[in-house]
Amino acid sequence: MAAKKPLPDRVQLKGLDSLFGIDQEQTGQVLDVPIRELFPFQNHPFKVLDDEKMAQTVESVRENGILVPIMVRNRPEGGYEVISGHRRKHAAEIVGLETVPVIIRDLTDDEAVIAMVDANLQREEILPSEKAFAYKMKLQAVSRVKGRPKKEGQVVPNFQGMKSTEVVAEGTGESYKQIQRYIRLTELRPDLLEMVDNKKIKFNPAVELSYITPNEQYLLLEVMKEDDVVPSLSQAQQIKKLSQEKRCTKEALHALLAVASIKERNVVIKHEIIMQYFPAEASDAEIESLIVRLLDDYRKKHGGV
């Protein structure tokens, strides 16, 4: 790693250790650096959007400057990598600031990932896709450092006796199983994941759909557009099963999602009519599965009608 550049004049700032979890003996000082020397974190999972929230941030920076310093670390090739503060940096660029206050951390790659995720998860509104990739990045970093001897000044806590997903879940208010479910979303195609962010596909069905192959996801998108339908949780589970059975064809998806179209059109089949054809002990899933197969057969026999 290249030698670190000389630091600009330092200005003492108290209380940042409680805000960022920073060891003040390691660093408790804020520095003004040229904004052109700040570079985004590699594969940063949090989106910087020019939305209403950004407009508010821009107005705040214009009136008050940057009140909370941007957390960075030195780059071997020069300049600084932003760990926390991408939105503040973007707002400063819009306002036209030439320098911004930063606090420099001496972090390894894995420590930087963990610090970046933890700092950004403090935001009020986080998209499912942001959580998904952030949790995945942190899980990979935690898995790499888990079990290493704890060195003096190490940012990462002692993980002894904890699952990596439990470590990721700490402080998030979510269980380690929910963390696993979020990470599953990273297996979705970007266009499907965007529908989750836009609340067009609900979270639980999206998790089930993450188990089907990319090609099957593409076929599903086509069927959803053609039939103007969105899978329910039950249908997403059926689609996952079709994939496991190597039967997830476009025809099968059309037949399965036709049930959604019928529901949206308020076509209701009375319970007593359905139960004429099924034994009393048949489960709802078994009934739905058979109906879907019959619809699939009907479509094939009638040329896709």
Q: What percentage of the chain carries pLDDT values higher than 70?
A: 81
**Residues 195 and 182 reside in one and the same domain:** no
- Write the pLDDT tens digit of every residue in 156-199: 455 556 788 888 888 788 899 999 999 999 999 999 999 999 99
Residue 242: C-alpha distances to residues 213, 270, 289, 302 (Å): 11, 27, 10, 22
**Residues 161 and 90 reside in one and the same domain:** no
Domain assignment present for 30: yes
Tokens representing 147 are 């079990």
**Residues 34 and 70 reside in one and the same domain:** yes
Domain assignment present for 119: no
- Write the pLDDT tens digit of every residue in 130-148: 999 999 999 999 888 765 5
Domain assignment present for 114: no
Name the pTM for this structure: 0.69
The whole-number average pLDDT for the span 204-212 is 98
214 with 248: CB under 8 angstroms? Answer: no
pLDDT of residue 136: 95
pLDDT of residue 124: 67
**Residues 245 and 276 reside in one and the same domain:** yes
Confidence check: pLDDT of 1 > 90: no
Residue range(s) defining the domain that contains residue 178: 126-147+157-187
**Residues 89 and 137 reside in one and the same domain:** no
Confidence check: pLDDT of 2 > 60: no
Q: What percentage of the chain carries pLDDT values higher than 90?
A: 56
**Residues 231 and 136 reside in one and the same domain:** no
Residue 18 pLDDT grade (very low, low, confident, very high; cuts 50, 70, 90): very low
Q: 95-99, 163-167, 202-206, 261-265 — which is least confidently predicted?
A: 261-265
Q: Domain boundary residue among 45, 80, 107?
A: 107
Confidence check: pLDDT of 207 > 90: yes
Confidence check: pLDDT of 305 > 60: no
- Write the pLDDT tens digit of every residue in 100-117: 999 999 999 999 999 999
Domain assignment present for 120: no
Average pLDDT, the chain: 83
Give me the number of domains the chain comprises.
3
- Write the pLDDT tens digit of every residue in 65-100: 999 999 999 999 999 999 999 999 999 999 999 999
Domain assignment present for 152: no
Domain assignment present for 33: yes
pLDDT of residue 34: 96
Residue 274 pLDDT grade (very low, low, confident, very high; cuts 50, 70, 90): confident
Instruction: Return all residues near 140 (Cβ < 8 A) that are at least 6 apart.
Output: 113
Domain assignment present for 181: yes
**Residues 169 and 197 reside in one and the same domain:** no
pLDDT of residue 302: 67
Domain assignment present for 93: yes
The more confident residue out of 260 and 271 is 271
pLDDT of residue 177: 93
**Residues 135 and 225 reside in one and the same domain:** no
Residue 10 pLDDT grade (very low, low, confident, very high; cuts 50, 70, 90): very low
